[in-house]
Chain A
């Protein structure tokens, strides 16, 4: 069955044929209603998407290919793809395993029961495939590739949908906040123009560019997103204390680097410290508004709390 856009049945290289068969058995594809050929088609599609040379008959070393294939969650992949093409046995199992979890995930994301139900129902409709393209059912499950677990994928998709939904309704939130702000609080003074020493800004940009992606991710997660050390540690697979030490180290080294860059540009140490302090005072207002703007894109509750805070940023 040509459900995945692949033009022909793939012949696995001889060395990988046994791997494919082994994976097919592990995937329980037959129980879900997937044939071996269909399963091979799926694997080829996933390989084409993620590996540089794209095809099993290409130049990718067989060992790399095998390692990649074995890293896939083949059972989840077979289940999802079988559901996507409407295999009833697969749907039986999907319902059994994931229907309750969909609502749990939605409740965890939205923290509110009716919104959770709406979100889960909407995603469930997309997963089932109530839309159609050229007469064929279009299911979101057809895009699952088994790189992570199916449950994790469902979480990511639902998180994406939640963020998109919130974005669409964001003007509504702004309106309510404005009306509440007008009755409870005096309108804030417009922020003064930020006075940023170009030298300081350049030194800061240079210092940040010198950080690794992981370091910048840590800084952004902790200082911009206000994530807890525990959450960050879980994401990176390290201990919470490791994250804490790293953040301390990064923040200190950043400050030292900026000061060092300013000193190189001719400032004294004291002048460099003062330059950062001056900019800090001026930027507090801007940072607060910028931070609120960023936070509004994630949590409306946080935006309301930010506005009702003591204004110290």
Chain B
């Protein structure tokens, strides 16, 4: 490719002007080539000058060729897709033949060995241990002598058969063992893995870091249920703000009817508002029914679907909460018309930050809020809060627009300015 003179590149960049951005409809229409020529030209003119809109248009294009259903399949580890390639199928068939042939040969060898052992036993005429059968038959648990011989054989069930019954049992055992190792990746994959084991190599390992299937729940990063420890603080002022946030109950949750929402139908038991004591008990269960402790543990172990999820609306004016993993949302009033830009939620502990040092904390999933005014060394936080990060209920940091980092180790009771 012909290199572009640097001066031209600089000039091209300098010509960039913000101007009036086309709306997303036009940008999407441009990306999909559904605009008329009359409309396309001004959009193109704008795109030639606006890096942001070029970026948006680029993002408007779907990932190359994958529809939604196929994206989930493509997100699976690559080795699972092996069966789609014809040459691999043939290779797998050949591998199967080798494995079966090997099993048959080994079975015959084992049979011959056992016959020798039986013959030896008969000549020795020694009493058999009680746990073994007196019958001089080759079987899985037949004979200590057989047991001694077996470890030298491959550990497949194929070696334990006798005669034709042994051969079929050997194949059955081989199939069962390989089926166990396949872990749902398909019969063909099981064969492939069994072949790997036969050869002593490690079976293929699922690609780590592969993105989860599209319909799989994404893990909730950094959220754990911990009880709130009370602590006395000194270097921040806490103002109790009683919020009008609605209690947790089925009646007040806006439920979007749909197939996914139906999968998460609330239990039939009458709802009971969760206690706002921050004890770490599961809050925000849709339905809020009384749940015994052991059931609580099971539900928690089943996933984080009962923990509320939080987000801010795109304009920052609304704090949104979901108790059903994002299927339905409700807005949570906090404080007037503050535009929040930072949010950190860890279990029932929620922190939100906004302009001019506006910082609010709830320890009961948004039922009640406290306004927090961090101060350190006589200096009060007044800058816009851009980011909040809490690794546990006690330790967190906030970052401001003027590059300050404020750190707390006691759930906001005191702060340090870095």
Contacts and interface: CB of A to CB of B under 8 A. Distances in A.
B2 A251 contact: yes
A283 B32 contact: no
B399 A172 contact: yes
A131 B318 contact: yes
A121 interface: yes
B4 A159 contact: no
Interface in A230-286: 230-231, 234-235, 237, 244, 247-248, 251-252, 254-255, 258, 276, 279-280, 283-284, 286
16 contacts: A71-B34, A92-B257, A104-B214, A120-B326, A125-B311, A149-B28, A152-B32, A156-B56, A156-B59, A159-B55, A172-B387, A216-B12, A247-B2, A258-B7, A283-B10, A298-B55
A217 B11 contact: no
A290 B10 contact: yes
A91 B256 contact: yes
A187 B127 CA distance: 87
A162 B55 CA distance: 10
Interface residues of B, number: 89
Nearest to B404: A175
A125 B387 contact: no
A153 B24 contact: yes
Contacts of A159: 55-56, 58-60
A242 B35 CA distance: 21
A161 interface: yes
Interface stretch (A4-12, A32-40, A108-116): A108-116
A156 B1 contact: no
Interface in A52-99: 68, 71, 73, 88, 91-92, 95-96, 99
Nearest to B56: A159
Interface string A206-234: 01100001101101111111010011001
A216 to B, nearest CB: 4
Given A159-B59, A171-B403, A174-B403, A164 B314 contact: yes
Contacts of A172: 386-387, 399
Interface in A122-180: 122-126, 128, 130-131, 143-149, 151-153, 155-164, 168-169, 171-172, 174-175
Interface in B73-103: none
A104 to B, nearest CB: 5
A237 B16 CA distance: 24
B215 interface: yes
B13 A291 contact: yes
Contacts of A125: 311, 313, 318, 320, 329, 331
Contact of A208 (B12, B34, B403): B12
Interface residues of A, number: 103
Contacts of A96: 258-259
A216 B44 CA distance: 9
B41 A213 contact: yes
Interface of B: 1-13, 15-16, 23-36, 39, 41, 44-45, 47-49, 51-52, 54-64, 68, 71, 211-212, 214-215, 218-222, 256-261, 309, 311-315, 317-318, 320, 322, 326-327, 329-331, 341, 386-387, 399, 401-403, 405
Interface of A: 50, 68, 71, 73, 88, 91-92, 95-96, 99-101, 103-104, 107-109, 113-114, 116-118, 120-126, 128, 130-131, 143-149, 151-153, 155-164, 168-169, 171-172, 174-175, 196, 200-201, 204-205, 207-208, 213-214, 216-217, 219-225, 227, 230-231, 234-235, 237, 244, 247-248, 251-252, 254-255, 258, 276, 279-280, 283-284, 286-287, 290-291, 294, 297-298, 313
A298 B282 CA distance: 40
Given A121-B322, A159-B60, A147 B6 contact: no
Nearest to B399: A172
Given A125-B329, A126-B314, A287 B6 contact: yes
A227 B341 CA distance: 31
A89 to B, nearest CB: 9
Q: Which of A118, A169, A220, A291 has the most chain B CB atoms closer than 10 A to its own CB?
A: A220
A101 B68 CA distance: 7
A117 B311 CA distance: 9
A298 B58 CA distance: 12
Contacts of B35: 147
A5 B301 CA distance: 50
A128 B56 CA distance: 22
